Structure 1
């Protein structure tokens, strides 16, 4: 059996078990944080990891569809026609499904963890600037994403259709 087949077997076994999958990824992330804390280095890799995780989260939270544009493109407010979007119920289909989101996050955390073993990747940076810029980016991204959710009337955290009780 080759490595590709073995990988696919394990992925197929993990597919119906999100608690195990996210537990493995969480353990990898904790190991990464311990490695960063003990070495006191590789802050640029950690910053890049945060940016990639933010990008994956944006893809996970935005809907897939031809009528709803990307929340971070420069679009005019006149392009929105509520009659063509809001008249019928459509299920919330994500740009990045949960399994693919998990795979992306796991690969990125694994690559960042491996990157901490190469001294050439320990580029000296002034850490407070990275932290301030990252906080600014998260705040700006969150603001744009919430505005996009309100404008196009979707909520990625609720998966059920609205219904009325008699």
Structure 2
């Protein structure tokens, strides 16, 4: 009788059990942090500031910070975008111009803003990317010698162009992705 195969199955199942417990604990932490939006973002900002201090003290890893910046810019653009994307909305508009249609809505009709990337996922992706960049900032392999002012200028140009495109899209389709300037109605409970 060969018991080694049975032992391997036992080890594999205990490893899978450990991974499942770890995954459940991680999900429980995420679930409990969901209602604390301000505290979550303060934690993210502190983590990014610590990462900047690591880059400043190491005097290197500029490719890592550039990659993190581009990723966070992409995530922020997705956060600002409506679920029906720029290209989709423009294609639908072009299709509607070609064919006669009946009016189906009023211009003053309430249209809820549904984000392409929800706030919690944006925060979660920010934390994960910053932690990964933080780990990469301690690995000498990622300390690629580059002339950092070129990366900085390139990042500024990309940020300007993508934000200009996003703002033009907001103006064209008349939406505001933030809710701090919008009216809030209180519900009155009848007794």
Instruction: Give the corresponding residue for 1:134.
Output: 155
Unaligned 5+ segments in structure 2 are 1-17, 98-102, 186-191
1:156 is aligned to 2:170: no
What pairs up with 1:29-108 in 2 under 5 angstroms?
A: 29-65=48-84, 68-70=85-87, 79=94, 87=107, 88-108=109-129
3-state SS in 2 of match to 1:64: coil
CA root-mean-square deviation: 2.7
How far off its partner does 1:81 sit?
Answer: 5.3
- TM-score, normalized by length of structure 1? 0.84
Query: In the superposition, relative to structure 1, how do residues 92 and 115 fare at CA in structure 2: closer, same or farther (>3 Å)?
Result: same
In structure 1, the partner of 2:8 is none
1:70 shift after superposition = 3.9
TM-score normalized by the length of structure 2: 0.74
Task: Name the structure 2 match of 1:8.
Answer: 27
Contact 2:86/2:169 (<8 A) preserved: no
**Partner residue, 1:23:** 42
Aligned-partner Cα distance in 2 for 1:86–1:161: 20
Partner Cα separation in structure 1 for residue 45 and residue 124 of structure 2: 12
Equivalenced residues, count: 159
1:54 CA displacement: 0.4
Q: Does the C-alpha gap of structure 1 residues 80 and 149 become closer, same or farther in structure 2, counting only changes over 3 Å? A: farther
Larger Rg: 2
Relative distance call for 1:80 and 1:92 in structure 2 (3 A) is farther
Q: 1:84: Cα distance to partner?
A: 6.5
Q: Which residue of 2 aligns with 1:116?
A: 137
Unaligned runs of 5+ in 1: none
Aligned to 1:52, what secondary structure does the other structure show? helix
Cα distance in 2 for residues equivalent to 1:86 and 1:40:
57
